[in-house]
């Protein structure tokens, strides 16, 4: 989960995790939860819990999620170029061309930070041995990488995938926040290019 505090103090919550009383208390100290975002069709498991705890928050579905998930009142579906109250501070673009997943990526302008979810991963060096082996086989250990199954899933839409990656690289980001890896505080754009060298 990533939480962005906007200039007016509102909170933009990306890919919510399990909401415990302790976590809710910590979040409430930061600001008012105003936006809840599911960046792809896999990262939505705790969106419902958050929306119940923050009923006034605006809830965004990744494409196709409204049909997949019942019981959550979605206020909007993510679209490139959509105009939202957070759009001046946080931009959004899609990674497309995969048969497995389309993913919304976000760019926080002020901090020059790219926020990703599943498209780049890196297994921890402290992970169990066989987990690290699995990560190495999948191209995500010991360095950051695009999972091999995701790479293979673009075989029929390489041109579309390449175009979306180049579009993301137009952002001037320095830092990168991941869901499945340690964050990168500098040199993020070069790392991103290296991860996607196979398609560029």
For the domain bounded by 2-195, which CATH number is listed?
3.60.15.10
* Whole-number Å distance between alpha carbons of 116 and 105: 5
CA dihedral 95, 84, 24, 121 (to 10 degrees): 10
Q: Where are the domains of the chain?
A: 2-195
pLDDT at 138 over 90: no
Contact assessment for residue 19 and residue 50, using Cβ atoms and an 8 Å cutoff? yes
Dihedral-angle region of residue 3 (phi above 0 means left; psi in -120 to 50 means alpha; beta otherwise): beta
Cα Rg of the chain (Å, integer): 17
pLDDT at 175 over 90: yes
Task: Report the candidate in 44, 58, 52, 48 with the shortest Cα–Cα distance to residue 179.
Answer: 44
Structure tokens at 88: 């001046």
- The pLDDT, as a whole number, for residue 23 is 97
Task: Report the candidate in 86, 23, 79, 8 with the shortest Cα–Cα distance to residue 54.
Answer: 23
- The pLDDT, as a whole number, for residue 45 is 85
State pLDDT tens for residues 43-89.
888 999 999 999 999 999 998 888 888 889 999 999 999 999 999 99
- The pLDDT, as a whole number, for residue 42 is 84
Mean local confidence (pLDDT), 110-128:
94
- The pLDDT, as a whole number, for residue 159 is 96
SS in 3 state form for 114-179?
A: EECCCCCECCCCCCCHHHHHHHHHCCCCCCCECCHHHHHCCCCCHHHHHHHHHHHCCCCCCEEECC
Mean local confidence (pLDDT), 17-36:
97
- The pLDDT, as a whole number, for residue 68 is 85
- The pLDDT, as a whole number, for residue 66 is 86
Mean local confidence (pLDDT), 137-166:
95
H helix and E strand count, the chain: 7, 9
- The residues with which 174 forms a beta bridge, in sequence order, are none
Structure tokens at 113: 């930070």
- The pLDDT, as a whole number, for residue 14 is 97
């Amino acid at each position: 989960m990533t939480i962005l505090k906007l200039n007016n103090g509102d909170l933009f919550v990306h890919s919510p995790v399990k909401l415990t009383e302790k976590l809710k208390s910590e979040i409430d100290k930061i600001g008012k939860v105003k936006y809840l975002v599911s960046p792809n069709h896999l990262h939505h498991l705790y969106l419902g819990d958050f929306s119940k705890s923050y009923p006034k928050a605006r809830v965004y579905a990744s494409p196709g999620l409204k049909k997949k998930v019942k019981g959550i009142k979605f206020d909007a579906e993510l679209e490139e170029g959509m105009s939202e109250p957070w759009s001046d501070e946080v931009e959004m673009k899609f990674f497309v061309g995969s048969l497995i997943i389309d993913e919304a990526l976000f760019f926080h302008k002020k901090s020059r930070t790219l926020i990703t979810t599943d498209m780049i991963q890196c297994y921890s060096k402290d992970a169990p041995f066989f987990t690290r082996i699995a990560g190495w086989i999948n191209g995500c250990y010991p360095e950051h990488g695009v999972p091999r199954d995701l790479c293979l899933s673009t075989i029929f839409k390489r041109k579309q995938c390449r175009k979306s990656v180049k579009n993301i690289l137009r952002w001037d980001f320095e830092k990168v926040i991941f869901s499945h890896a340690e964050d990168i505080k500098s040199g993020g754009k070069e790392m991103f290019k290296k991860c996607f060298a196979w398609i560029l």
